[in-house]
Amino acid sequence: MIVAMQELATEEQIDAIIQEMVEAGVNVHRTTGASQTILAGVGPTQALDLTAFEQMPGVMYVHRISSPYKLAGRGFRPEGTIIEFENGVKIGGNEVVVMAGPCSIENEAQIQETARRVKASGGKFLRGGAFKPRSSPYAFQGLGIPGLKLMFEAAREHGLLCVSEVMEISQIEPMLPYVDLFQVGARNMQNYNLLRELGKARKPILLKRGIAGTIEELLLSSEYILAGGNYDVILCERGIRTYETATRNTMDISAIPVIHKLSHLPIVGDPSHGTGRRDMVGAMALASVAAGADAIIVEVHPNADKAASDAAQTLYLEQFDTLMGQIRLVAKAIGRTA
Ligand code: PEP
Ligand code: MN
């Protein structure tokens, strides 16, 4: 921690701060400049309430310099995390993995046709929501476990893996046999009870950034899962809410390199929720790959205009096929495969 004293701070005020830090077991290094004193504290500062220091007389500001998350931090695994799935697909390695499917699983024909085309275009994961967090309680809420079974069967028939959203603790157990990757949606990024339970699950987790979540909050949320012993966490940038209204959310592409610097966890770009518009999904998917995303998740549907949810951002299957070719080219340009 760094404590910067005010220019007019007295020796007594400086001593009081030093004493407080020393009592907490912190080693204090004092630097006195021409007009200001800086105290650098090294040691067990994790549990200290820095705002209490900030309110002590003579203090200008206090900064934490060590990260508040330990297991999610890059230092925990400097080489990066690679998550391997049962069919050998890896996320976090050199290959950019593509996940695609409808926002919601609607019926067998829809999910079968989607699986066939996602596989043919080179996707590795079939996505689809069975439990849907809809803004309106009157909107389609998803087919639940029967829908998830339809997706799982379609995925396996076509050699794909499955990712689907879990909204609450009671859904974890029944979903387990039918997913390879649990998705925690933006609305649940800070549902700490759910995250703690998923820390005990022995399945990888795709943790999406909340609409008002900072990168630090996203990493702290991932820490809940990691602290439970589940180290297979993948983060997802899916757009945040800003003052801009031209797109559904503002896709924060810079979060991708920032997270790669701060954390060892792989990161996925979701340009569908990031833009809300199918004519912009491709550009932001390619931008995500160029920025270093380890995977891309996009919404596709055999009859995209009539999708039960998120139709406006859902790609036509032909559009997805074209995008896959472009993703391969961008991946190649940066020394990766797709
Ligand atoms: C989804 O993936 O369909 C979804 C609801 O995503 P998000 O939680 O990012 O809104
Ligand atoms: Mn959706």
We report the CATH number of the domain holding residue 21 as 3.30.70.1140
Domain boundary among 40, 66, 92: 66
CATH for 209: 3.20.20.70
Supply the pLDDT for residue 47. Answer: 77
Nearest ligand 1 atom, CA 209: 9
CB 166, CB 183: distance < 8 Å: yes
Which of 134, 165, 166, 249 for mutating ligand 1's site (highest number of atoms within 8 Å of CB)?
165
Domain assignment of residue 338, yes or no: no
With CA atoms as reference, report the closest residue to 263 among 204, 205, 222.
222
The one-letter code for the residue type at 41 is G
Largest Cα–Cα separation, the chain:
77
Domain count, the chain: 2
Residues 90 and 139 in one domain: yes
What span, in angstroms and rounded, lies between the C-alpha atoms of 56 and 212? 31
Which of 183, 218, 252 for mutating ligand 1's site (highest number of atoms within 8 Å of CB)?
183
Q: What angle separates helix 317-333 from helix 108-121, to the nearest 10 degrees? A: 30
pTM of the predicted structure, to 2 decimals: 0.91
Which residue's CA is the nearest one to ligand 1's atom 8?
185
CB 228, CB 199: distance < 8 Å: yes
Domain assignment of residue 72, yes or no: no
Residues 252 and 286 in one domain: yes
Supply the pLDDT for residue 64. Answer: 87
Please work out whether the CB of residue 213 comes within 6 Å of at least one atom of ligand 1. no
Ligand nearest to the CA of 130: 1
Residues 93 and 136 in one domain: yes
Residues 94 and 18 in one domain: no
Domain assignment of residue 119, yes or no: yes
Low-confidence ranges of the chain (pLDDT < 70): none
Domain assignment of residue 78, yes or no: no
Domain assignment of residue 316, yes or no: yes
Residues 12 and 38 in one domain: yes
Domain boundary among 66, 98, 118: 66
Residues 253 and 282 in one domain: yes
Residues 120 and 34 in one domain: no
Question: How many Å lie between the centroid of ligand 1 and the Cα of residue 185?
Answer: 5
Residues 191 and 250 in one domain: yes
Supply the pLDDT for residue 67. Answer: 82
Please work out whether the CB of residue 189 comes within 6 Å of at least one atom of ligand 1. no
Residues 131 and 29 in one domain: no
Question: How many Å lie between the centroid of ligand 2 and the Cα of residue 163?
Answer: 13
Domain boundary among 12, 41, 66: 66
Domain assignment of residue 255, yes or no: yes
Residues 265 and 223 in one domain: yes
Domain assignment of residue 211, yes or no: yes
Residues 88 and 162 in one domain: yes
Residues 36 and 87 in one domain: no
Nearest ligand 1 atom, CA 183: 2
- Which residues have CB atoms below 5 A from the ion given as ligand 2? 103, 310
Containing structural domain, residue 50? 2-66
Question: How many Å lie between the centroid of ligand 2 and the Cα of residue 308?
Answer: 10
Domain assignment of residue 240, yes or no: yes
